[in-house]
């Protein structure tokens, strides 16, 4: 019985670390043609965002609905 419990705990830790890794690397960023724009891709939903930052600080991002990736219908 102790070996089953320890194997379950190890399996749970592996699954939890995989989940944390997937959520931690959710967004991928690409530089735009100028220093003021960048593209963000949400790896979980497939949405693509175009972000603008005219000056230092927080950027504003708009969702590009025409360029989003959708799941195929099954």
What pLDDT, in 10s, does the model give residues 57-72?
677 777 665 544 556 6
Q: Report if residue 37 sits inside a domain.
A: yes
- The rounded distance, in Å, linking the Cα atoms of 41 and 57 is 20
| Whether 36 contacts 46, CB under 8 Å | no
Mark residue 46 as left, alpha or beta (left: phi above 0; alpha: psi -120 to 50; beta: remaining).
Answer: left
Residue 18 falls inside a structural domain: yes
Structural domain contains residue 72: no
Q: What is the pLDDT of residue 21?
A: 78
Query: Which is more confident, 22 or 19?
Result: 19
Please tell me the predicted confidence (pLDDT) of residue 43: 76
Residue 69 placed within a domain: no
Does residue 73 form part of some domain?
A: no
Name the pLDDT band for 6 (thresholds 50, 70, 90): very high
Of the two residues 43 and 68, the one the predictor is more confident about is 43
Tally of structural domains, the chain: 1
Domain membership of residue 20 (yes or no) is yes
Structure tokens belonging to residue 32: 């735009």
């Amino acid at each position: 019985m102790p070996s089953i419990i320890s194997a379950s705990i190890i399996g749970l830790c592996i699954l939890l670390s995989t989940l944390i890794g997937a959520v931690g690397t959710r967004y991928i960023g690409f530089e735009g043609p100028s220093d003021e724009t960048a593209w963000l891709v949400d790896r979980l939903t497939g949405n693509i965002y175009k972000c603008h930052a005219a000056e230092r600080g927080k950027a504003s991002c708009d969702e590009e609905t025409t360029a989003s990736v959708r799941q195929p219908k099954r």
